[in-house]
Amino acid sequence: MAASVAAMAIVSPPPAGAPAGRGERWPLLTVVVWLLLAPALIWAVIRLLGWERGPLVPLFAFTPYAAVWSLIPLILALATRRWSAAAVALLAVVALAVAVLPRFIPDRDRGRITGVPLTVMTSNMLYGGADAETIVRLVKDNDVAVLAVQEFTPEGRAALATAGLEELLPFTSLGDEPGAAGSGVYSRFPIVDAGVRQNSGGMLQAYGTVRPPGADEVIVESAHPLAPAGLIQVPGWKRDLDAEPAPAAGGPLRILLGDFNATLDHAPLRRLIARGYRDAADTDGRGLARTWPASTTALPPVTIDHVLADRRIGVRKVSVHFIPDSDHRAVIAALTVPAS
């Protein structure tokens, strides 16, 4: 009899009101937690391994926003005591934080700290329509010695001339073209070996060699890889970034500056930087200073305009500036180049 009672107690359901495990009471919530967690985890893995391809390329420009999103499933998993999900969510949060947070922190190693100051600026002029007076004012107020422009048209060239740019930066390497393909470099110092090349995406990149007084010569180039706006453009975008020139050991110093149509969350840009550059804004703790789109749109702003300085060049300060009538903000970098 006692054995029968014990068996009935084992198989009988718990009395009404008795506590049950959270997973038993709320299985749907467990599913929701994992559904929220999956995108963050997949994003973290792809970002960590540099696996963005095809339609993921433009999407991965928004990785900093995904990093913020990854906190939501972690908090929800902890709040509901889904410990396995919380552990996986924590891995995703850490991976994305490692990718994004260092951009807030100025580097201890800023490169050369003694030498000749050189301030450079890049500005995408949006089919040449950017406000030329603002560009010239920024050049004057920030003691800019080299200016690179993209989407540089004959109309944009004329507007800059009217605003007095050539009085400040009289030496040029210009490839103005109608539309978005044009590019130019203006300099306070004489430019030698000037030229304009067309990348595989059809964009022009003006370049030239400048020698600030008392400093080594520096090759500057206005960079403008093709935008990965659709699947058909992604291969050309990658080819353009892979083909950007890198500093050669023992060779002249290089500065690439412009609209790279890529963020630090894109593997091709990270590979380019690893070939001998440092991202000036990232070095200064301004790596998340948003540059496009400059005005309010449906798209969250991202950082696609960069100054890449040869690692033999020091980075002192970076600032980002609004330009009326352009969809990009200008980037100004105060650098230090080796004395000759």
Q: Tens of pLDDT along 235-280?
A: 999 999 999 999 999 999 999 999 999 999 999 999 999 999 999 9
- Distance, in Å, from the CA atom of 314 to the CA atom of 22, rounded to the nearest integer, reads 56
Q: Which domain holds residue 67?
A: 20-103
For residue 7, the SS3 value is: helix
| Count of domains forming the chain | 2
Residues 87 and 116 in one domain: no
Residues 273 and 187 in one domain: yes
Residues 153 and 119 in one domain: yes
15 Cβ contact partners less than 8 Å away, ≥ 6 residues apart: none
Going by the DSSP 8-state scheme, the letter that residue 339 receives in this structure is B
Q: Identify any residues that bridge with 173 across adjacent strands, giving them in sequence order.
A: 185
Domain boundary pick from 57, 82, 103 = 103
Domain boundary pick from 79, 103, 127 = 103
Percentage of the chain surpassing pLDDT 70? Answer: 92
| CATH number of residue 257's parent domain | 3.60.10.10
For residue 15, tell me if it sits in a domain.
no
Question: Phi first, then psi: what are they for 60, rounded to 5°?
Answer: -75, -5
Write down how long the chain is.
340
Question: How confident is the prediction for the chain on average, in pLDDT?
Answer: 93
pLDDT tens per residue, range 25-73 = 578 999 999 999 999 999 999 999 999 999 999 999 999 999 999 999 9
Token pair, residue 97, equals 């934080």
For residue 8, tell me if it sits in a domain.
no
